[in-house]
Structure 1
Amino acid sequence: MAETTIETAVQALIDYAVAKSLITEDDEICVRNYLMDMLKLEKWEKPSVKEYGSVDEILDEIVDFAVEKEIIPQSNAWRDLFDTRIMGVFTGMPHEVNARFKEKYAKSPKAATDWYYAYSEDTNYVRKGRIAKDIRWKYDSEYGQLDITINRSKPEKDPRDIAAARNAAKVSYPACMLCMENTGFAGTLTHPARQNLRPIPMTIHGDKWGFQYSPYGYYNEHCIVFNSEHIPMKIDAEVFGKLFDITDMLPHYFVGSNADLPIVGGSILSHEHFQGGHYTFAMENAPIEYEFAMSGFDSVKAGIVKWPMSVIRLSGKDRAELERACDKILVAWRAYSDESVGIYAFTDGVPHNTITPIARRHGDEYECDLVLRNNITSEERPLGIFHPNPSLHHIKKENIGLIEVMGLAVLPARLANEIKALGDALVNKTDLSGDEKLSGHAQWMNELYAKYTAVNADDAENIIKREIGAVFEQVLLDAGVYKRNDEGKAAFLRFIDSVK
């Protein structure tokens, strides 16, 4: 926005809210008074606002004013707390949002999610402006087009916030960031504000659940479906019915669960939840390379998916029978060991085998991918044997969760600044072993120097991006319990024989 007065910024936000149907003109005076109270404004002269920038630009103007007037301290956390509080003024009460969702759902599930996602963007719960900062590209792998993303949308930790949080009193409400009690929550320095969050209630497997979008989505309409009770993640016979319940309600969405064990699970194992969305990942398009039949499950089609990780795909129109078939494989895998390929179901009574399940609908047919996981570690590989090899940690060190399993790399923000520098190094064949910031890439870059003897400066960054994609492909291969060689394929078939 051009230089403005605080009145202009406030009026621009009100006009934005009217244009987005968050409020009506009848609400303007009331909403303005709320905002004047927050900003400690004692008088008002309505300015003329002919045009305004994005909601992020408007909010930045208002938050800058709040900092200048010492209404809030200057830090990333305080700015987010305050701008969310502001947008909470424009967010309808839960019963209003739920009623609108139901109204749209009566037309079609897609009409409902289209409206709810747009509403979540308009209220700035989904941080559209920040998500746009993420870097994305495709990598053509042997297994299809992998999605590579560098996450730049989440705000960096401010040292001032870290120091303040260290001294802040510990609170246990809400119990975690997935609890229903986040609805309308004001937030703290250690827990994000959620005044503009309005989860949609759902009934899953007879229990109360909530449906919302991720504020920093990694793909189109990245949603979270969570239990209204704070109970831990659990992969059991019931999980398949829960996933299919969601696909029945939202047949245009896929939905999947992180595994329920550390290392191979997600970042929040303490609260049962699933992730889904309106997006087709490379894994969904991957073909079946070996078909097999399961005795007693005549309506179920089964096969091994051609994918870097170890995936069994089951499908069929009989949902109940498909659920039982999925459970049979889960139960068998939980107890299965094959020492010849390093798979141990238990060590010292500690379980290691679990699955990452992903469900979707294709017309009247249900489909479920079961990704076999094992979280065993060793002295040499304390982060996991079926985890990215240490030689790949300069690109990807974190756990391989549901999103990565399906073929989307979520890479650290530091790479955004490193790609250009690595491209320059590739052109000049620079020795990076002594570079303070880039030395972690030195061995990898030496391999690229040998591979690309002459590089045009205009091509260098694209080469680096392509090679990052190749690293992610190897990351997925490392995370697979059955390797893509003859020994691994034969071992995979031995497990399949045990469940036929």
Structure 2
Amino acid sequence: MKTGVEVKKVIHQLVQQLINQAISAQLMEKQDEIYARNKILSLLHLTEFKEAEAAGETGQDIPDLLEQLIEYACAHKVIEDIFDDKEIFSSKLMNCLIPRPSAVNRLFFEKYHQSPESATEYFYEFSKNSNYIQMKRIRNNIEYKVDTDYGEIDITVNLSKPEKDPRSIELEQTMEKTDYPKCLLCVENEGYAGRIGYPARSNHRMIRVDLLGEDWYLQFSPYIYYHEHCILLSEKHTDMKICPTTFLQIITFVEQFPHYFVGSNADLPIVGGSILSHNHYQGGHYEFAMAKADSDWTFEMSGFPDVKCSIVKWPMSVIRLHSEQISALVEAGAHILKQWQNYSDDTLGIISRTGETPHNTITPIARKNGDVFELDLVLRNNRTSDAHPLGIFHPHEDVHHIKKENIGLIEVMGLAVLPARLKVELEQVQKFILGEIHHVADYHSAWAEELKVRYKDVANQANVEVLVREEVGKKFLKVLEDAAVFKRDEKGKAGFYRFIRTLDME
């Protein structure tokens, strides 16, 4: 057991090492060292610091140092040993080491004048080094690619979000309800300490972006799924709404940041994202399989001679528009949106509305290639039926054992975000194929039996993981096919042609 003097020496070393790492990561200046140290000492309820005791360097990363400081804080009753308190304390520690939002924005736009890429690279590294993006947790995710007829799709089993302890869950149920911040995306989250049941954001920073004269904010997702996975959010807490302004905003954004794509979840339940109460977009510096996909066929809209139009070779129903002129692209997109919102085809189960309830909407994505802007419009419909109570154009029951959740923007583009339960369950399926176990989760049993028969002569310890991963990729393709309003069979293609013909009708 360490003596009090030894504990003090260790904690002083940890504090100094954290500061050294922050300086090395360019989160702070050397001249701010004493100020930052005193802020951290205050949080730890320490009243002195001996530099001689703090000598020595272990080379530990910031997340590891934070974990040790949190252990000290719990052991010395500075905070309670519960998940939310530890998250809040960790965020507060990092906030001692990073500049205020105005300074972050100033440096961002200094770099922007060099190039937009330099600006976002700086902010991305800053967000990771400040532990707002918790890379240590994100590295736990299982990530791989599967080759398909549509290109390489991305598969991610999301293991980055830790489970809360029972005490945190219990306390959350007793907390007084508050509407501040109104949601997880609101600008009031910047620097917000957090509380039981609400994430810590002391180390959160946002970039101010002018979008058509309105104030918008750029941040990175704390649980990134691809390179520079960003969120662009409105200052106003208003519901998401896909409209012509949406197209103009996302195209204007990629005009400012031409190395990024940006898109929106659909604005209706079932086919929309998890947060429909705050207008926002997602983007990043990444090229998805859908962006690389070729055209199936092209068409023209006589009212828009400056816009090239095509149908994308993709499991879902995607119209791609190209133009060098932003106004022409927005007007063409608006025309298609209006037509789609009022379009029905009973033979394909597409009904535009039930009474006053709309069913048709669009998932839009914008990007820029050289001087040409691209606008992808993914046609969506959120109807349900007795046969498909979760959605007709939603993952069907035969794939729910792999993916049951909404198909949002990220999935639409070809990245499957799969639940954490699959880590263990897919390992069990692999063992089942090899005959090492004789039972799997009930909802996997039929699939596992099918794979066991298919691979009985080829599966072995060396290749079974790859085989199962490829089969998961096939399941995800089926998920996307289920979400297509116009299937890629002859009936669906004929239906797509019928809709496209309406775009030229007066």
Cα distance in structure 2, aligned partners of 1:98 and 1:385: 45
Query: Which deviates further from its counterpart, 48-57 or 265-274?
Result: 48-57
- Give the C-alpha shift of residue 307 in structure 1: 0.3
Per-residue CA deviation, residues 330-362 of structure 1 (Å, 9 max, x unaligned), is: 000000000000000011321100000000000
**Is residue 443 from structure 1 mapped to residue 450 from structure 2 by the alignment?**
no
**Is residue 488 from structure 1 mapped to residue 459 from structure 2 by the alignment?**
no
Cα distance in structure 2, aligned partners of 1:89 and 1:295: 59
Per-residue CA deviation, residues 41-81 of structure 1 (Å, 9 max, x unaligned), is: 12222211223211111000000101111111112222111
- Give the C-alpha shift of residue 159 in structure 1: 1.9
The one-letter amino acid paired with 2:375 is C
Residue 388 of structure 2 is matched in structure 1 by 381
The one-letter amino acid paired with 1:283 is M
- Give the C-alpha shift of residue 124 in structure 1: 1.0
1:412 corresponds, among 404, 414, 419, to 419
Cα distance in structure 1, aligned partners of 2:225 and 2:239: 24
Residue 88 of structure 1 is matched in structure 2 by 95
Residue 300 of structure 1 is matched in structure 2 by 307
**Is residue 67 from structure 1 mapped to residue 70 from structure 2 by the alignment?**
no
CA contact (8 A) 1:126 1:214 kept: yes
1:2-21 equivalences in 2 (<5 Å) = 5-21=10-26
Residue 45 of structure 2 is matched in structure 1 by 40
**Is residue 164 from structure 1 mapped to residue 171 from structure 2 by the alignment?**
yes
1:22 corresponds, among 18, 24, 27, to 27
Cα distance in structure 1, aligned partners of 2:461 and 2:28: 52
Partner SS for 1:457: coil
CA contact (8 A) 1:52 1:58 kept: no
Cα distance in structure 1, aligned partners of 2:414 and 2:29: 43
Residue 3 of structure 2 is matched in structure 1 by none
Residue 205 of structure 1 is matched in structure 2 by 212
1:33-432 equivalences in 2 (<5 Å) = 33-46=38-51, 47-428=54-435, 430-432=437-439
Cα distance in structure 2, aligned partners of 1:269 and 1:287: 31
Cα distance in structure 2, aligned partners of 1:182 and 1:323: 32
Specify every segment of 5 or more residues in structure 2 that has no aligned partner in the other structure, as ranges: 1-6
The one-letter amino acid paired with 1:14 is I
Cα distance in structure 2, aligned partners of 1:268 and 1:165: 21
The one-letter amino acid paired with 2:40 is L
Partner SS for 1:83: helix
Partner SS for 1:458: coil
Q: TM-score, normalised by structure 1?
A: 0.97
CA contact (8 A) 2:247 2:330 kept: yes
Cα distance in structure 1, aligned partners of 2:278 and 2:158: 24
Query: Which deviates further from its counterpart, 330-339 or 7-16?
Result: 7-16
1:472 corresponds, among 471, 476, 481, to 476
CA contact (8 A) 2:428 2:437 kept: no
Per-residue CA deviation, residues 388-437 of structure 1 (Å, 9 max, x unaligned), is: 111111110000000000000000011112222211111117543xx5xx
2:463 corresponds, among 459, 466, 469, to 459
Specify every segment of 5 or more residues in structure 1 that has no aligned partner in the other structure, as ranges: none
Cα distance in structure 2, aligned partners of 1:83 and 1:289: 51
CA contact (8 A) 1:247 1:359 kept: yes
- Give the C-alpha shift of residue 157 in structure 1: 2.7
Query: Which deviates further from its counterpart, 417-426 or 298-307?
Result: 417-426
Partner SS for 1:264: coil
Cα distance in structure 1, aligned partners of 2:349 and 2:165: 43
Partner SS for 2:147: strand
Cα distance in structure 2, aligned partners of 1:76 and 1:143: 42
CA contact (8 A) 1:11 1:49 kept: no
Cα distance in structure 1, aligned partners of 2:38 and 2:182: 33
**Is residue 498 from structure 1 mapped to residue 505 from structure 2 by the alignment?**
no
Cα distance in structure 1, aligned partners of 2:73 and 2:57: 24
- Give the C-alpha shift of residue 11 in structure 1: 0.8
Cα distance in structure 1, aligned partners of 2:468 and 2:166: 32
Cα distance in structure 1, aligned partners of 2:279 and 2:55: 49
Cα distance in structure 2, aligned partners of 1:399 and 1:463: 26
Per-residue CA deviation, residues 293-335 of structure 1 (Å, 9 max, x unaligned), is: 0111111000100000000000111110111000100000000
The aligned length equals 494
- Give the C-alpha shift of residue 380 in structure 1: 2.5
Cα distance in structure 2, aligned partners of 1:441 and 1:339: 34
RMSD of the alignment, in Å? 1.2
Cα distance in structure 1, aligned partners of 2:91 and 2:71: 14
Partner SS for 1:161: helix
- Give the C-alpha shift of residue 25 in structure 1: 2.2
The one-letter amino acid paired with 1:10 is V
Cα distance in structure 2, aligned partners of 1:24 and 1:199: 20
Cα distance in structure 1, aligned partners of 2:166 and 2:473: 32
Q: TM-score, normalised by structure 2?
A: 0.96
Cα distance in structure 1, aligned partners of 2:247 and 2:39: 46
CA contact (8 A) 1:205 1:242 kept: yes
